[in-house]
Structure 1
């Protein structure tokens, strides 16, 4: 069972992906934990990563240090959501 906080963070991650990458609501709504992100979404290039992370910081009230991010963080929707939930829980 997903906690209410997890569900809220997941909804925020979806909104940030939609807004920063200019993806359609339907496309982002179809993402599941295994949906690949970096390398699979042409919209998510290295320039977009910075904007995505900054927007997550602003909307979730977290701080993401450069050394927090590795290849796995943006590998899939699930890994990005789990990372974001962990950062929120650590605040």
Structure 2
């Protein structure tokens, strides 16, 4: 069985941003990402998107990306789950 998207996304953020498992596990739906976490800068956005495609087996088109996706962990998770479901 594949790990839930939430688990994979937390592991991805822990790896890419160097958050460590505890900080990644502590993220809530309202946790701010871009502009809130110093590690989550514009360079990290591109890396996170690429890793999401690789780890989740999805394709993300440029026109699907907007700043709102990276405002909170909840927004990023909802986006990832929609992509995995194919909707």
Scaled by the length of structure 2, the TM-score of the pair is 0.94
The correspondence for 1:8, drawn from 4, 27, 37, is 4
Unaligned runs of 5+ in 2: none
Post-superposition offset of 1:39: 0.4
SS of equivalent to 1:73: helix
In 2, the alpha carbon distance for the partners of 1:21 and 1:72 equals 19
> Does residue 75 of structure 1 match 2:71?
yes
Post-superposition offset of 1:50: 0.5
In 2, the alpha carbon distance for the partners of 1:70 and 1:37 equals 13
Aligned residues: 87
In 1, the alpha carbon distance for the partners of 2:42 and 2:61 equals 16
> Does residue 26 of structure 1 match 2:31?
no
> CA RMSD for the aligned pairs?
1.7
Unaligned runs of 5+ in 1: none
4+ residue runs of structure 1 moved beyond 6 angstroms? none
Post-superposition offset of 1:24: 1.4
Scaled by the length of structure 1, the TM-score of the pair is 0.90
SS of equivalent to 2:31: coil
